Amino acid sequence: MVGDGFDVVSPMPGSRIRQLSPFLLIDHTGPMDVKSTENPLGADPHPHRGFETVTIVYQGFLAHRDTAGYSGKIGPGDVQWMTAGSGLLHEERHEKEFSKQGGILELVQLWVNVPQKDKMAKPRYQELPAPVIPIIEKKDGKGSIRVISGSYENTEGPAQTFSPITILDVKQEAGGSTELKLPADYNVGLYMVKGAITVNGRQAKDKQLVVFGWNAENISVSCSEDAAYLILAGEPIEEPLATYGPFVMNSNKELIEAMEDFASGKMGKFND
């Protein structure tokens, strides 16, 4: 459990898969039953520096605020892309009205590394509502591909990134098949949100991560039941990596500086 509101499975990092550069972490919340309450559950204010969080909502509603002055609400189909940059505190909670009504919450959050030159960039918040995310309908009529970032089949995703990253949100109906073509120099992974598939001859089911690595230009996916999965593809960031909790930097010295800046209040504070 993350905070008191996110029942999380984390397939990465783990004992078998430490990272899939530029992707550092995958947290899958739910599907979880949120009971009606006047006091929204979630994660209390906490710091970040040196990377980005990408939150994709499948069910329910989430509220965000941070000490860079950004706030927002996202729901089914929406994506939030937050750049921690030089550092901030943020808070994530079940949205107020959703908390009052109760319901099912499901979301996937990714941690994405950024190049060394961008570690101390100004914090940024991109709220991408579902209608601005382009959809490619499959020719066989058995599914769709949403382009969140990068380019796929001449379709550009709306997210701005610091390095080349393609994130595809794929839905595939039973009996359908998908042939995906991705750049040979990208690291590529497939994360199963729900269902079961056969991918390049390998079986995968919900909440599993399939890693292809480099030279994964052609990915073939078939399924006998409805499935949803994310394609995570990006140019690897081949730089030193130093991590400690919510800080992702390039050296231990920078980690110490991050901890000192947080302790001294340089990442901001909430007034309430």
| Binding region | 46, 48, 90, 92
Strands 151-152 and 143-149, sheet pairing: unpaired
Measured CA to CA, the distance from residue 254 to residue 234 in angstroms comes to 25
State phi, psi for 254 to the nearest 5 degrees.
-65, -35
Binning the chain into helix, strand and coil, the percentages to the nearest 5 are: 10, 50, 40
Tokens representing 32 are 């979880």
64: nearest Cα among 52, 49, 78, 80: 80
Query: Is 139 exposed, middle or buried, given 0-12, 13-18 or 19+ CB atoms closer than 10 A?
Result: exposed
State phi, psi for 173 to the nearest 5 degrees.
-85, 160
Cβ partners under 8 Å of residue 256, min gap 6: none
Residues in the chain, overall count:
272
With beta carbons less than 8 A apart as the criterion, state whether 208 and 217 touch.
Answer: no
Binding site feature residues for Fe cation: 46, 48, 90, 92
The torsion of the CA quartet 169, 172, 178, 180, rounded to 10 degrees, works out to 10
State phi, psi for 260 to the nearest 5 degrees.
-65, -40
Measured CA to CA, the distance from residue 197 to residue 221 in angstroms comes to 7
At 99, is the secondary structure helix, strand, or coil?
helix
